[in-house]
Every structure is written in structure tokens, then in C-alpha cells.
């Protein structure tokens, strides 16, 4: 019997119009990401069972291949490029399902927290849905920025409302261009 090799963790930072975007990857899947140059800003969101024990190897963005390419493509106008990137997060059944449902929210079509709770399978669980957004470690790839308040205001965003505004505006522009075709 052969034991599986230890997981390989890598980190990189991609420069974006919204600032440095750091990605922590394990064996081809994003564990955590966000608009920071400091990896420690990301690791607290990762489930302890997935968190690396040591500081992951820092690599050139090109070494993360399709992951870094998806971020660049997103910022170049292909907002759907992030959809194919594998993500690995761990939590209880509701939150895990809620994160999966976030990936179905289309760019340019934000949903309210109440709509998101309904998508996640429990319309009454608005606070739990908001909690899933707050605990989402894989920002951008699991697009919690696409969830807004019922009154249309932005609500919160771990990476700042300026970044959330930018992302939503970028996606609205893309959505409008697609509809105009």
C-alpha cells in the first residue's frame, strides 16, 4: 500500500486594478484568496483541517496556471473565467451548500441575502446565509460580493466596499455588453 504524498501548498499574488490579490492553493484548488498581499489575512478563514501547517511556497503567478489566468481574464473582461477554478472549503452542510450556490449567482445579477438564503435551501436562514458570505475564504472564486441587502445597498464585504463596488460595476458592465449583443 502506497501512502498519498503530502499536499502541496503554494501562494502567489496577482496585481489587479483593485490591488494585490493573493491566492493560497493546494493541489490545484483554491483554499483562500483575497485582496491583500499578506497571506496571514487569508489563513484565518480556512477550516483548520485544510490549513497548511507551514508557510506555503511563494511562487510566480504563472506557476498557478489556470488559477492566475482566470483572475487576469476576469479583470480583462471575461468575468466568467473564475467559474471553472476549483475551490476547496470545508464547513457544515448548510454553509458548504451555500458556498456552492454562490457559484451559481450570475455576474451582473446580484441577489439579496434573502434570495441567497432561499438559493441555499432555507429561505428563513438569512443570518446563516450572511454568515456563509462572511466565512467564505475563496473570495472572487466563490463570489460573495454578488450578495447585497434587500434595500439595494451593498452590505458588508471583508475586502472593503470599494472593492465590492468595483467588482459589481465590472460585472454589470459585462452583463450589459452581453445583453446588447
Residue 113 has pLDDT above 70, yes or no: yes
What is the pLDDT at residue 181? 57
* Same domain as 144, residue 162: yes
Q: Across all residues in the chain, what is the average pLDDT?
A: 92
Whether 133 sits among the annotated catalytic residues: the reply is no
Query: Domain containing 69: what range?
Result: 9-84
Domain count, the chain: 2
* Same domain as 78, residue 138: no
What is the pLDDT at residue 167? 97
* Same domain as 18, residue 37: yes
Give the model confidence (pLDDT) of 121-147 as tens digits: 999 999 999 999 999 999 999 999 999
Give the model confidence (pLDDT) of 18-42 as tens digits: 999 999 999 999 999 999 999 999 9
* Same domain as 112, residue 40: no
* Same domain as 137, residue 73: no
Of the CA atoms within 13 Å of residue 140, those in its CB half-sphere come to: 34
* Same domain as 77, residue 30: yes
In the set 140, 144, 147, 168, the catalytic residue is 144
Say which residues have a Cβ less than 8 Å from residue 136's Cβ, sequence separation at least 6: 45, 89, 99, 102, 142, 144, 158
Residue 166 has pLDDT above 70, yes or no: yes
* Same domain as 125, residue 63: no
Q: Is residue 31 part of a domain?
A: yes
Q: Is residue 41 part of a domain?
A: yes
Give the model confidence (pLDDT) of 38-93 as tens digits: 999 999 999 999 999 888 889 999 999 999 999 999 999 999 999 999 999 999 99
What is the pLDDT at residue 55? 82
Q: Is residue 114 part of a domain?
A: yes
Q: Is residue 160 part of a domain?
A: yes
Among 60, 84, 108, identify where a domain stops: 84
Amino acid at each position: 500500500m502506497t501512502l498519498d504524498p503530502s499536499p502541496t501548498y503554494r501562494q502567489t499574488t496577482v496585481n489587479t486594478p483593485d490591488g494585490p490579490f493573493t491566492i493560497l492553493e493546494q493541489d490545484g484548488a483554491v483554499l483562500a484568496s483575497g485582496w491583500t498581499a499578506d497571506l496571514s489575512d487569508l489563513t484565518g478563514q480556512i477550516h483548520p483541517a485544510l490549513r497548511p501547517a507551514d508557510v506555503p511556497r511563494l511562487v510566480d503567478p504563472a506557476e498557478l496556471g489556470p488559477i492566475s489566468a482566470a483572475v487576469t481574464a476576469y479583470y480583462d473582461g471575461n468575468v466568467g473565467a473564475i467559474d471553472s477554478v476549483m475551490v476547496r472549503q470545508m464547513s457544515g452542510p448548510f454553509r458548504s451548500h451555500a458556498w456552492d450556490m454562490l457559484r451559481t449567482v450570475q455576474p451582473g445579477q446580484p441577489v439579496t441575502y434573502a434570495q441567497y438564503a432561499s438559493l441555499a435551501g432555507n429561505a428563513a436562514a438569512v443570518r446563516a446565509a450572511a454568515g456563509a458570505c462572511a466565512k467564505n475564504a475563496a473570495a472572487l472564486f466563490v463570489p460573495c460580493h454578488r450578495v447585497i441587502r434587500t434595500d439595494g445597498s451593498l452590505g458588508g464585504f471583508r475586502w472593503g466596499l470599494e472593492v465590492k463596488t468595483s467588482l459589481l460595476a465590472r460585472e454589470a458592465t459585462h452583463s450589459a455588453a452581453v445583453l446588447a449583443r
